[in-house]
A and B are shown apart, each in its own frame.
Chain A
Amino acid sequence: MKYLIIGNSAAGIFAAESLRKLDPVGEITVLTDEPYAVYGRCLTSYFIAGDISEDQIFIRSQDFYEKNRINLKKQEKVVKIDFEAKKVFTAKNSYSYDRLLIASGAKAKKLSLPGSNLPGIFTLRTLEDAKNILDYSRKAEQAVIVGGGLVSLKGAYGLLKRGIKVTIVVASRQILSQVLDETAAGLVQQNLEKQGMKFLLGEDVLEFLGEDKVFEVKLTNGQVIKADLVLIGKGVIPNVDFLPEAEKFSEGILVDHYLRTSWENVWAAGDVAKTFDVAHGKYRVNALWPNAAEQGRVAAINMVGQNCVYQGSIGMNSLEFFGYNTIAAGITRQEEGYTVIKQRQGANYLKLVLEGEKLKGYILCGEVRGAGRLTQLIRSGSKIKQFPSFLKRF
């Protein structure tokens, strides 16, 4: 059996590992357009910060591919798939398959504003990006971060740790508007402000100013702020350019409960896959590491011919900045039509979002112990009869 995997990250690697466990003899090939062995994409900001060294970013041992007999083909960018002939084409080669997993992940959205091609303007997605940002940051004093999502904040943290002044421009009235409610976002923001980050909420960028490199950023309110480094964090888009009629998949490749695509013998997993979300009860991309890894594992089980139903994805985030923790999962912002329990105690905050007796989402700030039990309650859909005893600290 010939297994081919497009993608050498969370989904691809967890799939390859599981394939090897389940099928000791099958041929496993992994394609990546990057020049590296598997690394923790989420670690790139810690690398910028200097919290970890470059070798710590590689999350598997050096003999990982050899030991598991996985053929890793680096710098092989897939440009086309022929589903009839069961062939994947890169610029230089072609690879045939019996079973194919598309785990090509996502890329950072770029902005198309005046000046957005100036040197000094970055997005953060790959190790290459992180290295470029780090290099450039040595000459920078003042960075502007565009967007208030997780990647923006993590990038901002990295730069701040390198002694650069950071200002974060957020279009919404709060940071982390996809993840947290206003209260929790406020707590996280306060903590970051204490460390020296500056926030401009309800503002957006109009244009980037500079000649041979970025120098200033002009905001919608007319204000011009100095910026010798800009980091743009405006979300991601799935890597689907190599698919026929790629525009149809701009919101991800829809998969069924077995993570099968509509093409025969082709599965999809990770940031590129549109899966069933258990909290929202509909299909969507939950572009997060734990979902990607889990989907890779489940896809592998199905690729070897066993039937394993994917339990569904869930939007869940854990963020830690300067010792202050926040974990949130499921439905956290929408309150209409739900029963909402909120408890505040100093820097600790708890929010439970229930539909009838079923937990649909939660936020825990400060002390986060036991969060996984709440995640499990969302997943299992079990009824909650009373306030969970392990939360009695509230």
Chain B
Amino acid sequence: MREILVDLEKCLGCKTCELACATAHSKEKNFFAAIFEEPKPVRRIFVEADGSTNFPLTCRHCEDAPCVTACMSGALTKDELTGEVVLNSQRCIGCFMCVMVCPFGVIVENQRKAAKCDRCAEIGYPQCVLACPTKALSFIEVPVYAKKERKKYLTNFLVKE
């Protein structure tokens, strides 16, 4: 299963990924055009800081994703083959039950519907990874067991507040 991974040592918190993400989800897919688009393109990656540690957070495509169980419209599903949590905007009715249960807080509102990382499905490759100047983000194959470990780590990181 492929995943967007973060190297904490390398992240400087520059937020280039946030801009690349918003641009990738704009109409024009071009930064200078995207700035002026209405409604404003919405980013789906968020750089969090904890003291000196920076952490870009985005959809973890959880194993037993709480957003999938909470989704009452059938818009969020887990693709068993790719491991991806897929959001079908056509079905989304904007109840935001997913926002209520996502432990990472990475599902946001976009034009009264839910929006989250889709690994830039439209473009074909996560643009945050391409844009990251320090290569803190990578998009690689990971074994399932490692994924579980990381989720634990990440949850602890978040809960520490």
Binding site for B on A (CB under 8 A): 10, 14, 21, 40-43, 46, 51-52, 56, 58-60, 289-290, 293-294, 297, 316-320, 323, 325, 327, 329, 368-373, 375-377, 380, 382, 384-386, 388-390
Chain B contact patch, size range: 20 to 34
In the complex, chain B residues whose CB is within 8 Å of the CB of A323: 112
CA distance A56 to B73 in the complex (A): 8
Residue in contact with A293 in the complex, picked from B70, B104, B107, B158, CB distance below 8 Å:
B70
Residue in contact with A320 in the complex, picked from B66, B96, B101, B155, CB distance below 8 Å:
B96
CA distance A329 to B103 in the complex (A): 13
Find the residue from A41, A46, A320 having the highest chain B CB count within 10 A. A320
| Min C-beta distance of B148 to chain A, whole Å | 15
CA distance A289 to B94 in the complex (A): 15
In the complex, chain B residues whose CB is within 8 Å of the CB of A294: 66, 69
| Min C-beta distance of A22 to chain B, whole Å | 12
Q: A297-B64, A320-B94, A376-B155 are in contact. List 12 more A-B contacts (CB 8 A).
A: A21-B80, A58-B74, A59-B73, A289-B97, A318-B97, A325-B96, A372-B102, A375-B100, A375-B103, A376-B158, A376-B159, A390-B48
Residue in contact with B100 in the complex, picked from A43, A329, A377, CB distance below 8 Å:
A329
Contact of B24 with A by CB under 8 A: no
B93 in contact with A46 (CB, 8 Å): yes
In the complex, chain A residues whose CB is within 8 Å of the CB of B142: none
User: In the complex, what residue of chain B is closest to A289 when comparing beta carbons?
Assistant: B72
Contact of B141 with A by CB under 8 A: no
Binding site for A on B (CB under 8 A): 48-49, 64, 66, 69-70, 72-74, 80, 91, 93-105, 107-109, 112, 155, 158-161
In the complex, chain B residues whose CB is within 8 Å of the CB of A376: 103, 155, 158-159
Residue in contact with A290 in the complex, picked from B70, B108, B159, B161, CB distance below 8 Å:
B70
In the complex, chain A residues whose CB is within 8 Å of the CB of B94: 320
B159 in contact with A382 (CB, 8 Å): yes
| A–B complex contacts, Cβ < 8 Å, 24 sampled | A14-B69, A40-B74, A42-B95, A46-B93, A56-B73, A59-B74, A289-B72, A290-B69, A294-B69, A297-B64, A317-B100, A318-B96, A318-B100, A320-B95, A325-B109, A371-B100, A372-B98, A372-B103, A373-B105, A377-B159, A382-B160, A386-B161, A389-B48, A389-B49
